[in-house]
């Protein structure tokens, strides 16, 4: 499947697919004429990538997790564990943001909002 066909099948821009290729998320063989030729299973994989991004996973995580999940005996169980870990990370980040918000709110109308707390 040529990159234009892959772009049409996934709704992604060719530049996005090239970017993913540079990041090691997809691989296309080069034809004799230099065109990229992607296997058909690239379409569902790119849909997976987009869904994982929407769920807050970075491209580096997606690349690493994709490799792990392909090798996992029960990928659904492994995926659930990954989601649980991501939720834990998000909860910790929300706690950090809440503390940051409280600190900023305490500095509102204090004259110099960057002064050290006393």
Q: pLDDT for 61-78, tens place per residue? A: 999 888 777 676 777 888
pTM of the full predicted structure? 0.73
What is the reported pLDDT for 113?
67
When pLDDT is cut at 50, 70 and 90, the band that residue 111 belongs to is confident
Write 44-50 long-range contacts (CB < 8 A, 24+): 46/6, 46/10, 46/12, 46/17, 46/20, 47/10, 49/20, 49/25, 50/10, 50/12
* Listed residue (25, 17, 16) closest to 1, CA to CA: 17
> CA 56 to CA 44: how far, in whole Å?
19
**For residue range 14-34, what is the model confidence (pLDDT) as tens digits?**
999 999 999 999 999 999 998
pLDDT score of 108: 86
CA angle 62, 5, 56 (to 5 degrees): 20
Q: Which two tokens stand for residue 69?
A: 């999940």
């Amino acid at each position: 499947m040529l990159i234009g066909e892959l772009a049409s099948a996934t709704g992604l821009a060719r530049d996005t697919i090239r970017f993913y290729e540079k990041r090691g998320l997809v691989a296309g063989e080069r034809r004799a004429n230099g065109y990229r030729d992607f296997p058909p299973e690239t379409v569902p994989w790119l849909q997976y990538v987009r869904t994982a991004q929407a769920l807050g996973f970075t491209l580096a995580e997606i690349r690493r997790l994709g490799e792990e999940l392909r090798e996992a005996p029960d990928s659904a169980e492994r995926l659930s564990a990954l989601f649980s870990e991501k939720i834990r990370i998000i909860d910790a980040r929300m706690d950090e943001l809440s503390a940051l918000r409280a600190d900023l709110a305490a500095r509102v109308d204090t004259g110099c909002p960057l002064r050290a707390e006393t």
